[in-house]
Amino acid sequence: MSRKLLLLMLLALLLGTLNLASRVEKVEASGTIYIRSDGSVDPPTAPIQRDGDLYTLIGNVYASIEIQRSNTILDGAGYMIFPEWAISLRSTQAINNITIKNTEIRAAWTAIYLANASNCNIYGNSMTNNHSGIELYVQSNNNNIYGNNITNSTYVGIQFSESNNNTVSGNNITNNEYGISLSGSSNIISGNVLSDNKYNFDVSGDLSSYSIDTSNLVNSKPVYYLMNQKNLVITPATYPQVGYLALINCINITVEDLTLTNNGQGLLLANTNSSKIINNQIENNVLGVFLINSSNNSIYHNNFINNALSASIDQYSIEGPWANVWDDGYPSGGNYWSDYLGNHANHDGIGDISYVIDANNIDHYPLMGMFSEFNVSVPYDKTENVTLINNSTVSNLRLLIWLSSPYEGLQPGQPFIQFYASGENGSVGFCRLMIPKTVLNSSSYTVLVDSQPVNAAMLPISNSTHAYLYFTYTHSAHEVIVTVPEFPLLALPLFIIAALLTVTVFERKRRKLSRATCAF
């Protein structure tokens, strides 16, 4: 055999050996790396450096890491892990006191998995594009999960199952199907920032055992998770910003004038009874309102706009005399549902057919337009409500007095109601206006839209105390004025004196516009 041929054969053998080594290393990396109970790293070639209880990554890992040893610190040192199960804490015996920090985990089924692991600290990790971020199962108790970034999970950011007394704080949880899923008891959820999750929280089990405080932010607003409360009034005056509201085991709560938007659920009532949910704007949620085992509540004059599902009631909410009520009778009406398909042939602003949530929960008088209510003060320190049902955006309703009239049929000194309405240019706008006769007392009224009179029908539902007007207009931005066509001159001085001694321009009340598991 020639020397040249021998050299070629030796070179081929060397290249084959190198390729085999490369293939062996790749197969080994795609398996599981163990930190054994005796402290050893298996296989010893894994890119993990040990210094006592501290195990530090010294390169990217394309394998799962399973920790079977208590009193262990795993420091990712910023390296990335790309496994099916990135880091799991499980052993034939319970393990305790594990720290996992500074890892970056991508494209795993579960980024960090705890089973029967307690007193662990998981912090400073980044988890992106996984099926699940952090999962705690089978009595994984007393763990502290904080300061992690969990994004783009196809299922859940953080999930508990049969795990208790854990603290979840200061995590950024964004764009997951579910942000935090809780099952167990006495878990503390504080200071987390949740945004753009389909459901920010998924809760099951004993709802009253959770601690979810207002330091949690949903869409930059605090979460109010109120438990065991009685006789509360919740309005923008008492709760200036609300990202999410849940009432658990509550009695006689009034929720009024809130705007609840862009959430998994707009509002949750669980084991909550004899409460009133009125004049709220519940908009762009996956589920507008969810009731669990909650009865004898009154829910009306709310605007349910563009929710994927407007309302859902579990099978435990009572029917019969203790059933929930979804309207205030006729002609006051129920709620505005943007997915309602009915009409109002008599132009009274109330739908001709009911809005059915289920067989036991029916809005018998759904509104054909959004509901707005304004406080108007009249002489002698009396306050009245002026309400509107319309398909416009309404603002700045006020009671004023003419100093000079833009319309020759009206007299200086006459009282009038003024507001502004706008909508999509060219579309038809309508308004049903309810005026207490203590505000403007007449058997007929003049309605001006941009100083031009329009036909306004006095509806048959008008009575000795309230006038109901219905009129239409073509949408753009309009000034609307309602006044009486005649004003007795002898009454003028007394009315002007009384009106000037009171405030004639008044603030509008803000228009508002699961299983035994619930998600919000």
Nearest to 199 by CA among 157, 169, 161: 157
Burial letters for 266-281: b for 16+ Cβ neighbours within 10 Å, e otherwise?
bbbbbbbbebbbbbbb
Domain with CATH 2.60.120 in the chain: 381-500
Contact, 157 vs 180, CB < 8 A? Answer: yes
pLDDT digits (tens, 9 = 90+) for 141-177: 999 999 999 999 999 999 988 888 999 999 999 999 9
pLDDT band at 86 (very low <50, low <70, confident <90, very high): confident
pLDDT digits (tens, 9 = 90+) for 26-60: 333 458 999 999 999 999 999 999 999 999 999 99
Contact, 304 vs 338, CB < 8 A? Answer: yes
Domain with CATH 2.160.20.10 in the chain: 30-197
Task: Please report the pLDDT score of residue 513 as a whole number.
Answer: 31
Task: Please report the pLDDT score of residue 268 as a whole number.
Answer: 92
Nearest to 270 by CA among 250, 298, 288, 256: 250
Q: Which CATH code fits 381-500?
A: 2.60.120
Contact, 290 vs 310, CB < 8 A? Answer: no
Task: Please report the pLDDT score of residue 93 as a whole number.
Answer: 77
First to last CA, the chain: 79
pLDDT digits (tens, 9 = 90+) for 327-371: 999 999 999 999 999 999 989 999 999 999 998 899 999 999 999
Q: Which of 301-310, 374-383, 435-444 has the lowest mean pLDDT?
A: 374-383
Task: Please report the pLDDT score of residue 333 as a whole number.
Answer: 96
CA distance 79 to 72: 18
Contact, 200 vs 245, CB < 8 A? Answer: no
Contact, 42 vs 33, CB < 8 A? Answer: yes
Contact, 335 vs 297, CB < 8 A? Answer: no
pLDDT band at 490 (very low <50, low <70, confident <90, very high): very low
30-197, CATH topology level:
Pectate Lyase C-like (2.160.20)
Answer with the residue of higher pLDDT: 322 or 247: 247
Answer with the residue of higher pLDDT: 10 or 407: 407
**Mean pLDDT, the chain, as a whole number?**
84
Tokens of 213: 């405080």
Res 88 pLDDT > 60: yes
Res 7 pLDDT > 60: no
CA distance 132 to 68: 21
CA distance 30 to 47: 13
Task: Please report the pLDDT score of residue 22 as a whole number.
Answer: 36
